Structure 1
């Protein structure tokens, strides 16, 4: 009987506890659903229901939430459907004719003798994406930007078909003299860096990632530095910017040297 009296509504301690709890609940509800939404809105809201909806993050009728937009151009290429999968002989032929304009920098067979990137055997989706990004101003280069502006959609598709058709430079990495650096083989998991080969060939290829074997060491270092500084911003989902910024200067140097390694030229007459 004594226990029943202690929890009775007529017991002053029970009544006091319930009253205090109810007051705290009402104050918290008023603060969270009425006062704070009004202050955050910076204007008078329509009523309590409007305040509750604002507190819950629900847009009201007539409100258009402002989209978050980057302050730089982003690639418009849908990489999965950028180029046809089937080989097209006519496109390759048209691309070969167009590629004569590219030979001075990228070599007559798509293998550069300077520090321009090798295009022979590059993935068609990569060739197309970079040309389209240059044309759209997403990627900027003093030579490539003016050239790409003049290209039609068909031109870019044809160049992609042609260069992807050419035989690519294979990797040349004698284990006894040129061991693969850790960043290429294993990456750096604690810093969120996957092995380079898991995206760029040798192990696996991620759609949209270029084949790097045989590229110029200076070109590779320059592009990684551009990703670090943010002056190049056309990588998919900022993946290369995040990776490059997490790499040390030594790792950037090691990766560039590794991929740029080529077999020595054969002596004349052999």
Structure 2
């Protein structure tokens, strides 16, 4: 009977098994963290480290390749993290209220719009600030918004964001709360189609920095923005998060999601 230990590198079979498992683990890591991110539609990773960070979900600098020429010329400079609104002392609610007087025609006197424009009341300050910066830089194209925000300073944008975040969201009178069951895509997504759950980012308990609140926003606006992300006409989402989330959605699913959130 052999006295050689089973778990010993002197055991040829043990050594071979460890080598095979290590090789499989290394191959899986290379495929998952390097090849797949670089083979993605946004194959503009400049380095191995950027590919690994992207696969792990870490925010990366905006890459303009593959986007419309206008957006390539104006990459976003917003760095999204939990402390992004703490720079320069944050924002002043009082100054923001004064600046917001120019926004009332479209967004309502208290940040709640009866038209097809998004509600700003109660939105996280980081979300409003990022969108203002993206409008001003041209990374989120808008013939209406860009001229209005071009003259705003960075502090003005922080003040506006702080003001709207301080407001309580009001429900539009003619929109009744939805009594329907939460759609599966909101609760669980569809892993077989690489669709994440909407609630993983947009629920009140999981709201990430610069992620907007969707409840109560115009159905038409939500539907249009989901289509814009899916079709690539809007591309100011970090690491293509929204474009990846909606690229496999059908028109009917987009309509259902917009209807659900608008009635919340």
Q: TM-score, normalised by structure 1?
A: 0.66
2-structure distance, mates of 1:247, 1:206: 22
Determine the C-alpha separation between the residues in 2 that align with 1:209 and 1:161: 15
Aligned to 1:212: 214
Alignment length (residue pairs): 192
Q: Who wins on radius of gyration, i.e. which is larger?
A: 1
* Match among 192, 210, 213 for residue 194 of structure 2: 192
Structure-2 separation of matches of 1:259 and 1:78? 28
| 2:105 equivalent to 1:110 | no
Instruction: Show the counterpart of 1:266.
Output: none
Partner of 2:166: 165
What is the CA-CA distance between 1:74 and the residue it aligns to?
A: 3.1
Q: Does 1:181 align with 2:176?
A: no
Greater RCO, 1 or 2 (C-alpha within 8 Å, sep 6+): 2
| CA distance in structure 1 between the aligned counterparts of 2:177 and 2:218, rounded to whole angstroms | 15
Looking at structure 1, the residues matched to 168 and 145 of structure 2 have their Cα atoms a distance apart, in angstroms, of 23
Separation in 1, partners of 2:213, 2:89: 19
The answer for the alignment partner of 2:79 in structure 1 is: 78
How far did 1:217 drift? 0.3
Quote the residue 1:246 is aligned against: 248
Q: In the TM superposition, what is the alpha-carbon distance from 1:192 to its structure 2 partner?
A: 1.8
2:143 matched residue in structure 1: 142
* TM-superposed deviation, 1:173: 5.0
Distance of aligned partners of 1:77 and 1:172 in 2 relative to their CA distance in 1, 3 Å threshold: farther
Q: 1:42-72 CA distances to partner (integer Å, 9 max, x unpaired)?
A: xxxxxxxxxxxxxxxxxxxxxxxxxx86252
Inter-CA distance 257–86: structure 2 relative to 1 (3 Å threshold): farther
Judged with a 3 Å threshold, the aligned counterparts in structure 2 of structure 1 residues 169 and 204 are, in CA distance, closer, same or farther, namely farther
In structure 2, what is the Cα distance between the partners aligned to 1:169 and 1:243? 28
**Partner deviation per Cα, 1:146-165 (whole Å, 9 max, x = no partner):** 11111111110100110001
Structure 1 residue matching 2:85: 3-state secondary structure: coil
Matched, 1:96 2:91: no
Deviation, structure 1 residue 87: 9.0
CA 196–69 in structure 1, closer or farther in 2 if over 3 Å, else same = closer
**Where does the alignment leave 5 or more consecutive residues of structure 2 unmatched?**
1-62, 67-71
What residue number does 1:223 align with?
225
Residue 236 (structure 1) aligns with? 238
Contact 2:219 2:262 in 1 (8 A): yes
Contact 1:91 1:157 in 2 (8 A): yes
Offset, 1:202: 4.0
Q: CA RMSD in A?
A: 2.3
Query: Are the aligned partners of 2:75 and 2:137 in contact in 1 as well (CA < 8 Å)?
Result: no
Identify if the C-alpha distance between structure 1 residues 69 and 136 changes in structure 2 by more than 3 Å, giving closer, same or farther. Answer: closer
Q: CA deviation at 1:244?
A: 1.4
Q: Per the alignment, in what secondary structure is the counterpart of residue 204 of structure 1? A: coil
CA-CA distance at 1:82 after TM superposition: 2.6
Q: Gaps (5+ residues) in structure 1? A: 1-67, 263-270
Taking the aligned partners of 1:86 and 1:69, their CA distance within structure 2 comes to 28
Aligned-residue offset at 1:248: 1.6
